[in-house]
Amino acid sequence: MTGPASTPIHTPATEARYDAEILIIGSGAGGATTAALLAEAGFDVLVVEEGDWVEQGSVVSFSLEQMDRQYRSGGVTVALGLPSIAYTEGRCAGGGTEVNSGLYRRPPAELLERWRSQYHIRDLDPDEMYVIADEIESAINVTTVPGAVSAPSAVLRRGADALAWQNSESPRWMTYPPGGSASSGQRQSMTRTYLPRAQRAGARLLTQCRVRKLSISGTSASDADVVLADGSPGRIHFRHVFVCGGAIHTPALLQRSGLRERIGDTLAVHPTVKLAARFAEPINIPDDVPVHQVKEFAPEISFGGSASHPGLVALALADNWGEFSHALHEWERVCVYYAAITSEGKGRVKAIPGLRDPLVTYNLTARDKQLLRSGLSRLTLLMLAAGADEVYPSYHNAPVVRSSADIASLQRSFAATKATVMTVHLCSTVPIGEHPRCAAGSFGQVRGMRNVWVNDASMLPDAPGVNPQGSVMAFAIRNAQRFIETERPHG
């Protein structure tokens, strides 16, 4: 199914104009679910998405073409700090759900309880959230791999079992053909699930359409200024707007529209450090990621596997290229793994007049930096326990680690400021709740605004400590349900 563009109601020479009862900005995990629920409830919904509709399988995973067509800025974006943190976002119909690893976790019960009490989120009921989670898991087919897990995944399980560390397979949103193997899955992203559902219920989708700003008067927004695929301007009139552009671009758009109070000041991420590990046998599967995660030290530290396309192996070796580059000749024997931490640091997103993209900054705390050191050391131990013959930690001038005796030298020489710190989990720039520090109410209504809502990763009160997409979708559906109850469609 392709994404049909919506036709303008009339097209004057200079500006296309559209009208919608509900405008949804962004078609990722938050926007697509919101669109499906509201369209199915009878609202007139228009979804606009800055990126293109790219049919799954039409581009090679991790290729330059994919980076160009489905990632923001070709996948090269950075939060400035000491160290800076490289981050990646999807920019296409379906947003991050089209390019991500598909690893699913429900929001843990203790997390929901903490968020409810700490941020005063009204009517946040774990039982209700788990009914929603059941629906999501069925809609996107959350399942474990058929048969044996892949060799890179088995590395994590083997190492953790040898150390008696808690580990488990994370299910994914995938379908597998009958008799299929671990690598034969098709990701049940938003372009295969909630977006077609929204379209079947009458929602219109306009791709390659970027919203520049909202027109706001008093407590109401009325129009969105947009740029269309051919660069021409357009205007969309709406009754309600749901901003679902992801944790960086939702606050940036709200700021460009004049809404600044508490917006964009509380960016939370899961920082990761990486290593490459070489094994005796070929284990690399270039177009897939491991499904095992090691949670012995969770939520502070979690371990998992990264994409290990040869280009990404080279990137993981680049911090000490002189010592490590020989491993690239044997990339089939090498895989990349990460240690992720829950960070106490905070970041900021700031829209800068005249610049298209916002300035993003992030400060790790001393405790965060210590956790990164400890995470990388333990991940190295895990690799050795799994049988790695050489481990290449990703920081400037890191040593090659061949035995547990070498880990002491890693611990001595590691500094977070020398490491390649990355993240793909960004959230919490417009946190919800009744607490005064929250930028939106308990159901996503932007503070002080009558008809502006956020319903994406921005709204999570802080970093969840688990893969976030399940939490984003569950909260987005909860908020959409509440909106439907309180704002029944006209007619």
Catalytic residue IDs? 425
Distance CA 100, CA 424 (A): 9
**Contact with ligand FAD (CB under 6 A): which of 469, 474, 477, 479?**
469
Distance CA 451, CA 217 (A): 11
Stretch that binds ligand FAD, among 145-153, 429-437, 461-469, 482-490 (CB under 6 A): 461-469
CB of 453 to ligand FAD, least distance (A): 13
Please report whether residue 472 would count as binding ligand FAD according to CB under 6 A.
yes
Contact positions with ligand FAD (CB under 6 A) in 182-211: 210-211
Locate 56 and state its tokens: 């799954």
Q: Which is nearer to ligand FAD, 91 or 478 (CB)?
A: 91
Q: Which is nearer to ligand FAD, 24 or 391 (CB)?
A: 24
**Contact with ligand FAD (CB under 6 A): which of 20, 29, 214, 446?**
29
Locate 293 and state its tokens: 């995660």
Residue 78 φ then ψ, to 5°: -145, 140
Contact positions with ligand FAD (CB under 6 A) in 46-105: 48-51, 88-92, 95-97, 99-103
Please report whether residue 106 would count as binding ligand FAD according to CB under 6 A.
no
How many helices and strands, by DSSP H and E, does the chain display? 12, 23
CB of 466 to ligand FAD, least distance (A): 8
Give the SS3 label for residue 294. Answer: strand
Q: Which helix (H) or strand (E) holds 29?
A: helix 29-40
CB of 470 to ligand FAD, least distance (A): 6
**Contact with ligand FAD (CB under 6 A): which of 16, 18, 26, 66?**
26
Residue given tokens 């939060």 in the structure block: 79
Distance CA 285, CA 419 (A): 25
Total residues interacting with ligand FAD, rule: CB under 6 A = 41
CB of 201 to ligand FAD, least distance (A): 19
User: Cis before residue 489, ω within 30 degrees of 0?
Assistant: no
Q: What Cα–Cα distance (Å) separates residue 450 from each residue in 120, 123, 226, 447? A: 20, 20, 22, 8
CB of 437 to ligand FAD, least distance (A): 20
CB atoms under 10 Å from CB of 342, counted, come to 20
Task: Report yes or no: 97 and 54 within 8 Å, Cβ to Cβ.
Answer: no
Stretch that binds ligand FAD, among 135-143, 174-182, 240-248, 350-358 (CB under 6 A): 240-248
Which residue has the CB atom at the shortest distance from ligand FAD? 28
* Residue closest to 447 by CA, chosen among 462, 435, 460: 435
CB of 96 to ligand FAD, least distance (A): 3
- Applying CB under 6 A, the residues found at the interface with ligand FAD are 25-31, 48-51, 88-92, 95-97, 99-103, 210-211, 244-247, 249, 253, 424-425, 456-457, 467-470, 472
